Structure 1
């Protein structure tokens, strides 16, 4: 359910300026749906492929994530070419140059050969089409991370935090081409949240929690999430918080600890998504909510995450084109493109589910232990 909700918010946020953005998580704290997406990707990888390493089926444990990485790579190339064609068509036939003048599409006009070199190498990424390259690299590293997480979870976590800290302190990143600079979502930084997801998933496979339920942790997570909410929603609190952070930076505290850069997943953003994840994980109502009819659209979207994300990305650019082409002051246009897009994604996921069932390949449930009960209930699956 949570992954489906994250995908819905990603679609909405990829159409910047629409009035439905106020309902997405980025308005209630420092992180947004992208962090949740990557965290859940790590959980899913551990749940799906950890069994192979437990049974010492080494090649299956390696081939599974790498096959997934190849699928992600192919989808990324198809999405990139499709949206490039869409924004080019709006320039040629719709007389809407705004789309191709931003989000790194203008580089194709200036240096098409360089872009054609960088695109298949994952070195050139268009705006709003840059999460799958990160996901590809993380899945390539997943076999090693899962193997290490099963044997030395503490050492893996220390190594991951070290890489995150070094990247944030020294501004290390993978290169762009033909642009200068690095990736928008720095893999050296974002690997930490993926590793935390893997360690969580491995713990769930063992019917336990990676982070135990502690009253002090619940209070700390709730306080931090509340502070982030107030900073986003109450201007005086925002101003005061900005002054505090600025003072800390001027005092020499490293940016990675007191800034909000998304690309380097700096500490305020990281703590926010982890606080939210912890609060959700200890909620006694998650299972019942996931099983409710109201949650069904998000559950089915989460089960078909890759096709939903791919089509949603293309639809988001089509929605942006529509909002530029038609009168943007007409709220009916926003309603049609946003709500219509979400309905299309739910329909896509539903059709994919029906196709899977017709082919005789039902999706096995993922059973997650309930921390509020002494023993897990295998017949009830928490769909996240």
Structure 2
């Protein structure tokens, strides 16, 4: 299944030109970067560009991509640390990452809340606080802050990092289970997933004791699937998934789902167009909070099909545009937090100025440009010695040709944005 995805890599920042030397599988960075761009686009309500993101051709969306790749990369990186440095060193690295995620989560909330409060006062729009879920913070900050620190208060868009922290919090135990018996964590995780769907288990959030937007008891299954696939090459018990029929089945399922989902999308715009199997399938894919089984099947089929359609050594990964997206995936935490803030800013800009299609496209393009530009700057910062790590050493070897290509791609994107902005104006 995922044998075509090489795990022998360190996933920080690194250039496409160093693929062979570093052992990176840049497809992971590419699709994680795409998922971050899609999350930014999908978070802006009624955004016309959301019709060309993943959710337009699959029952799943960018959240599934993010969680799966997070599990895969965690098993790759910390599995290697477990093999080479031992359990204590691997655990220390894992909890250091949890702390980074926690700090990023809190700081993102602070910036988001400050920005929304400023926009509320400046634009005299009292609905912003409720739209972005910080009205409770304004009404009772002494309670909301405590709940935020306990991960029980999750304003708009700040609901995926908490489950990631929880998953990494128990990851040392998962790693030990993977090392002892590779299929065991997958079996236990699958049982928990089924029981969660059957009995409706879910944690509650502040302030109304509502269910979490991402139920960690359900979404852990996708994370563990990714972790199992990522750790498999380190294990002496490989997964029996390398079957010739599997990619063919996955491609067939992915195509069928795409046809069905596109028919639903067209039906939403034109009632006369038939929505294939909507009455039968819609109830089975709508429960995103609990990772509805058809969402899971749709994502896994698409992941397997993609892994076999795009080779690890594909020349596409060396193209300038692909490398810009790869940079985003290599700096996933920073770009994710930036994307959240840009989604909020984009929604405020659209509601305060106008919401027509040219304006939507201008906001989308500006956000994407800023995300890829920041990712490129982070790569250059690491390459200049701003962060002393093995990944910075890999980045330092990036050829001047690759850098010129990236700069050329950014310039073309800026030119396109300027043209679109003039058309809006």
Shorter-chain-normalised TM-score: which range? 0.7 to 0.9
SS across alignment from 1:307:
helix
What is the match of residue 348 of structure 1? 374
Specify which of 271, 294, 299 is matched with residue 326 of structure 2.
Answer: 299
Specify which of 53, 57, 60 is matched with residue 24 of structure 1.
Answer: 53
Cα offset for 1:20?
1.1
Work out whether residues 70 and 226 of structure 2, in 8 Å CA contact, stay in contact via their aligned partners in 1.
yes
Q: Distance in 2 between matches of 1:163 and 1:272?
A: 20
C-alpha offsets along residues 205-242 of structure 1, whole Å, 9 cap, x if unaligned? 56997463433222221222122212221148974523
Specify which of 308, 312, 323 is matched with residue 282 of structure 1.
Answer: 308
**1:108-119 correspondence runs (5 A):** 108-119=137-148
Tell me whether 1:130 sits opposite 2:159 in the alignment: yes
Work out whether residues 254 and 305 of structure 2, in 8 Å CA contact, stay in contact via their aligned partners in 1.
no
Cα offset for 1:361?
3.8
CA distance 1:118–1:284, shift in 2 (3 Å): closer
Cα offset for 1:304?
0.7
Q: What is the RMSD computed on CA atoms of the aligned residues?
A: 2.4
Q: Distance in 2 between matches of 1:185 and 1:86?
A: 25
Q: Distance in 2 between matches of 1:17 and 1:127?
A: 16
- Which gives a bigger RCO, structure 1 or 2 (Cα 8 Å, sep 6+)? 2
What is the match of residue 186 of structure 2? 157
Tell me whether 1:336 sits opposite 2:372 in the alignment: no
SS across alignment from 1:282:
helix
**1:62-211 correspondence runs (5 A):** 62-205=91-234, 210=239
Specify which of 275, 280, 283 is matched with residue 244 of structure 1.
Answer: 280
Work out whether residues 280 and 286 of structure 1, in 8 Å CA contact, stay in contact via their aligned partners in 2.
no
CA distance 1:228–1:320, shift in 2 (3 Å): same
Specify which of 310, 318, 322 is matched with residue 345 of structure 2.
Answer: 318
Cα offset for 1:294?
2.9
SS across alignment from 1:60:
helix
SS across alignment from 1:130:
coil
Q: Distance in 2 between matches of 1:167 and 1:147?
A: 24
Work out whether residues 69 and 226 of structure 2, in 8 Å CA contact, stay in contact via their aligned partners in 1.
yes
Q: Distance in 1 between matches of 2:243 and 2:122?
A: 59
Work out whether residues 33 and 325 of structure 2, in 8 Å CA contact, stay in contact via their aligned partners in 1.
yes
C-alpha offsets along residues 14-52 of structure 1, whole Å, 9 cap, x if unaligned? 112122111100111110001100100011111111123
Q: Distance in 1 between matches of 2:112 and 2:340?
A: 8
CA distance 1:241–1:211, shift in 2 (3 Å): farther
Residue correspondences, number: 355
Q: Distance in 2 between matches of 1:308 and 1:340?
A: 14
What is the match of residue 370 of structure 1? none
Q: Give 5+ residue unaligned stretches, structure 1.
A: 247-254, 366-384
- TM (normalized to structure 2)? 0.78
C-alpha offsets along residues 76-109 of structure 1, whole Å, 9 cap, x if unaligned? 0111121112122221111223322224333334
Q: Distance in 2 between matches of 1:157 and 1:198?
A: 9
Work out whether residues 183 and 239 of structure 2, in 8 Å CA contact, stay in contact via their aligned partners in 1.
no
Higher mean C-alpha deviation, range 31-40 or range 282-291? 282-291
What is the match of residue 231 of structure 1? 260
Q: Give 5+ residue unaligned stretches, structure 2.
A: 1-29, 268-272, 395-425
